[in-house]
Copies of this chain bind each other. A is one copy, B any other.
Amino acid sequence: MNEHTSKKFDAELEGIRTRVLQMGGMVELQIVKAMEGLTGGDLLLIDQVIENDNRVNLLEIELDEACNQVIAKRQPTAVDLRMVSTVQKTITDLERIGDEAKKIAKTAKQLHTATSNFAPQIRLSHIADAVVDMLRTALDAYARLDTISAAQVVRHDKEVDAEFKGIMRQLITYMIEDPRTISQAIELMFVAKSVERIGDHAKNIAEYVVYMVKGRDVRHTSLEEIEREATR
C-alpha cells in the first residue's frame, strides 16, 4: 500500500472500530435495562429492550459488510487483517449478547405478568453487574489494545462461572423446600444462564484482543498462558 491508500485504510478502520464500540455500548445498555426490567417490572422498558434488539442485529450486518468491503478494497495483510477479522468476530459475540438481553427481557415480561406470587427471593444483580463490568473492560481493552485488561476479563469469567453455580444451588434449594416456586425458579435459572453466557461472550472478545495485539490465538488455552501472553 502507498501512504495515501494506507491513510485511507486507517481512517476506514478507525470508523469501523468506533462503530464497534458504539455497538458495544448499545448492547451494554440492553443488558442493564433488561435486568432493571426484571427487578422493577417496568413493562415499557422491557418492551423497549425487546424492540431494540433489531437495531443490534442490523448493526452486526452493517459492520460485517463494511469489513468485507475493506478486505476486498484494501486487501489488508498481517496485523491489519487481524484487526478486521477481530471486528468480525467481536460483532458476532456482541450480537449474541444482544440476544441474551432480549431473552432476559422476555422472561422479565413473563414473570411480571404471571399470576403466581411464589417467587424465589434471589438476587441476580451482583452477577449481572459483574458481566456488564467484564463487557465494559473487554471493549475498553479492545479500544486501547490493552492485553493486561483483556487477561483480567478472562480471570473474572471464572468467578462468574462459580457464582452461577452457587445461584443454581440456591434455586434448587428453593424448589425443593417449596415446590410452588418451581416455575418461577426455572425462569430465573435461565436468566442466570443468559447472564453467565454474556460473561462467556465478553471473555471471547477479550481473547480476540490478545490475538489481535499479539498475533497468537489464545482461545482454548489456560488462563495462565493468556496472562503470560498478555504481559509479554
Query: Which residues on A are within 8 Å of B, measured CB to CB?
Result: 54, 57-58, 60-61, 64-65, 68, 71-72, 75-78, 81-82, 85, 88-89, 92, 168, 172, 175-176, 179, 182-183, 186, 189-190, 193, 217, 219-220
Contact of A64 among B75, B168, B217 (CB under 8 A): B217
Q: Knowing A54-B220, A175-B182 touch, does A78 contact B89 (C-beta < 8 A)? A: no
Q: Residue of B at shortest CB range from A54?
A: B220
**Cβ contacts under 8 Å, A65 to chain B:** 217
Complex CA–CA separation, A61 to B61 (angstroms): 24
> What is the oligomeric copy number?
2
Interface of A, secondary structure class, is helix
Give 18 A-B pairs besides A68-B85, A72-B76 with Cβ atoms closer than 8 angstroms: A57-B220, A58-B220, A61-B219, A68-B82, A71-B71, A71-B81, A72-B78, A92-B92, A168-B186, A172-B182, A172-B183, A175-B179, A175-B182, A176-B179, A176-B182, A179-B179, A189-B189, A193-B193
CB contacts (< 8 Å) of A76 on chain B: these are 72
Q: How far is B54's CA from A191's CA once the two chains are assembled, in angstroms?
A: 29
Let me know if A81 and B72 touch, CB within 8 A: yes
Task: Return chain B residues, CB-CB under 8 Å to A92.
Answer: 89, 92
B186 lies within 8 A of A172 (CB): yes
Min CB distance A86 to B, Å, is 11
> How far is B172's CA from A176's CA once the two chains are assembled, in angstroms?
13
- Docked CA distance A75–B61 (Å): 22
* B-chain residues with CB within 8 Å of residue A77 when the two chains form the complex: 72
In the bound complex, what is the Cα–Cα distance between A176 and B179 (angstroms)?
6
| Chain B nearest Cβ from A109, distance in angstroms | 16
A68 touching B81 in the complex, CB below 8 Å, given contacts A182-B175, A220-B61: yes
In the A-B complex, list the 9 residue pairs whose CB atoms are closest, starting with the nearest. Answer: A75-B75, A57-B220, A72-B77, A179-B179, A61-B217, A175-B182, A72-B81, A176-B179, A176-B182
Give CA–CA (A230, B57) in the complex, Å: 21
- Complex CA gap A72/B82 in Å reads 10
CA distance A120 to B216 in the complex (A): 46
Query: Are B88's CB and A85's CB within 8 A?
Result: yes
In whole angstroms, how far apart are the Cα atoms of A207 and B186 in the complex? 31
Q: Which residues of B contact A58 (CB under 8 A)?
A: 220
